[in-house]
Chain A
Amino acid sequence: KQEVTQIPAALSVPEGENLVLNCSFTDSAIYNLQWFRQDPGKGLTSLLLIQSSQREQTSGRLNASLDKSSGRSTLYIAASQPGDSATYLCAGLGGGSEKLVFGKGTKLTVNP
């Protein structure tokens, strides 16, 4: 059974800092991994999707990597801004399963 873990649960950084959010998963037969952003009381917005055949994806200041052998994915945010403050969730789609398994998220606060 796929399990997805995100550590730390919360992270506070000063504006301008580069930062890395971590996501680990137990089943390496992962089909893809997706990173989401959630603002308080709002829905989830997909940021990046990495297919199992890919190593990384980039969108603007965001870069996500996937290492199936170690069961890890990272979301790199460059030059963080207060507007980046939100909860970031990762989710893995298991090979042979249609079920997307979510981590509990990392709450990011970027201080001006």
Chain B
Amino acid sequence: EAQVTQNPRYLITVTGKKLTVTCSQNMNHEYMSWYRQDPGLGLRQIYYSMNVEVTDKGDVPEGYKVSRKEKRNFPLILESPSPNQTSLYFCASRQGGEKLFFGSGTQLSVL
């Protein structure tokens, strides 16, 4: 089954404790992206990747890092999480100008 898999589904952490949210897709898509969704602000893009070793900033990249060492994986790294990074995070992938496929989301709470 074609899918984008994110882990974990829920995560509670404390300020400053490094964390990684994993994202994997099995569709051989070149394009992958991370979004955060906050009430009243909608979906905002954090980082995206056009292909292996090619990444670029989205609208709200501050406080986040990404890497694309393999085509299928695109982890999101928070080196020193802060409470304002509490949000619902989504990974997504697509091929060219085709449909965007989303993961199920990661609800992150930073205390």
Contacts and interface: CB of A to CB of B under 8 A. Distances in A.
Q: Please report whether the interface of chain A is mostly helix, strand, loop or mixed according to DSSP.
A: strand
B103 A43 contact: yes
Contacts, number: 48
Contacts of B41: 104
Nearest to A52: B97
Contact of A44 (B48, B58, B90, B98): B90
A93 interface: yes
A45 B50 contact: no
Given A98-B48, A98-B50, A104 B98 contact: no
Nearest to A4: B42
Given A89-B43, A98-B31, A103-B42, A43 B104 contact: yes
Interface of A: 31-32, 34, 36, 41-46, 49, 51, 89, 91, 93, 98-100, 102-105
